[in-house]
Amino acid sequence: MSDPLKRVAIVGSGNWGSTIAKIIGNNIVKFNTFENEVRMYVYEEMVDGRKLTEIINEEHENTKYLPGHKFTPNIVAYADVVETIKDADILLFILPHQFVERTCNAIKSHVKPGAFSVSFSKGFYVGKDSSVELLSTAIARLLGIPCYVVMGANIASEVASGTFCEATVGARNYEHGQMVKGLLQTEEFRIVIKPDTEVIEVLGALKNIVAVAAGFSDGLGYGDNTKAAVIRLGLKEMVKFCEEFFPGHHPHIFLESCGVADLVTTCYGGRNRKVAAAFVKTGKDIKTLEAEMLNGQKLQGPDAAAEVKEWLKEKGQANKFPLFTAVHDICERRIEPTALIDALRYHPEF
């Protein structure tokens, strides 16, 4: 007798969560290799006088976070996160990282034995005692199940539109990695599996900090030469951070989609760059701009910069990463945006 089909649940339904739901829904219908129904946890809110879950289940579209893109009918929205993950074998976490702990605590006693999770979230987790750990580590610890990661050069709207792109799955378990690839890969969305889970995740968080620096550079009116320096020196700090705190990875990992490709696309597109440029031009604070510009989405770069500052402080290494440190201090208005150029000019690299 063949094994029962695995059930998939998606925890999160923003721009990226909805994009992944669109891909997975299509793949499951096409290949029939997983349980047909995919439950998606939706933070309930009213959109034009209607509940968002009702809109998704009746119109098969997330009109707030991914308008213009239809889901297959097997994507079913739930407002109750416990109900969403009940009986699921694979839990996909696609939440702003600020909500991960609360969500894990709500579901931890309801997770199916033998399940595994995958984090698409980019950031670090800071505990109440100011200790810092990777989100995948926090999810695995809180739920008591393995957690893998998916990172890459992926601006959600472009992935949803079917323009060619790629992503990196970080998994040391071959069978689980292949399952994730089977869920996600399409002709236009190509997946590479690598075992360097921690570094793949770290790169996803750190590149958002560099993208904020790129946005500051744009907002200050500097050109492509300066932005290229931001990207290069930012990449140097990303590599140094990984070598310092996560040794043992394969050096080629930086050439994967989760590395240099993700960094470049985020420094030229993406919300971190856009909001950081507006921060310089308008003088408004980050939270105000987030509310005005992102239609309910969350910004990851400034939080990641604060988390990394905490991490470096804990390890006594803050002065070795001047670009990361400058981004945090500018976001907190401790220094002027122009100080970013000093961080580049007097970088230890020179």
The reply to whether 183 and 294 lie within a common domain is: no
Whether residue 336 lies inside any domain: the answer is yes
CB atoms within 10 A of CB 137: 16
Whether residue 33 lies inside any domain: the answer is yes
- DSSP 8-state assignment for residue 251: G
| 298 belongs to an annotated ligand binding site | yes
The reply to whether 147 and 216 lie within a common domain is: no
CATH number at residue 245: 1.10.1040.10
The reply to whether 72 and 116 lie within a common domain is: yes
Whether residue 1 lies inside any domain: the answer is no
Q: What is the pLDDT of residues 84-139, one digit of tens each?
A: 999 999 999 999 888 999 999 999 999 999 999 999 998 888 777 777 889 999 99
The answer to whether the beta carbons of residues 211 and 123 sit under 8 Å apart is no
The answer to whether the beta carbons of residues 339 and 330 sit under 8 Å apart is yes
CB atoms within 10 A of CB 339: 13
Q: What is the pLDDT of residues 47-84, one digit of tens each?
A: 999 999 999 999 999 999 999 999 999 999 999 999 99
The reply to whether 14 and 144 lie within a common domain is: yes
Q: Domain ends where: 195, 214, 247?
A: 195
Residue 1 has pLDDT above 60, yes or no: no
| 17 belongs to an annotated ligand binding site | yes
| 13 belongs to an annotated ligand binding site | yes
Region 7-16: mean pLDDT is 96
CB atoms within 10 A of CB 296: 13
Q: Domain ends where: 133, 167, 195?
A: 195
> Which residues constitute the domain of residue 40?
6-195
- DSSP 8-state assignment for residue 229: H
Region 129-151: mean pLDDT is 92
Mean residue pLDDT of the chain comes to 95
CATH number at residue 137: 3.40.50.720
Residue 2 has pLDDT above 70, yes or no: no
Q: Domain ends where: 154, 171, 195?
A: 195
CA distance 110 to 80: 12
The reply to whether 156 and 212 lie within a common domain is: no
Number of domains in the chain: 2
The reply to whether 106 and 186 lie within a common domain is: yes
Q: Which of 22, 64, 194, 207 is catalytic?
A: 207
| 12 belongs to an annotated ligand binding site | yes
Q: What is the pLDDT of residues 152-191, one digit of tens each?
A: 999 899 999 999 999 999 999 999 999 999 999 999 999 9
CA distance 81 to 167: 27
Active site residue 207: yes
pTM of the model: 0.93
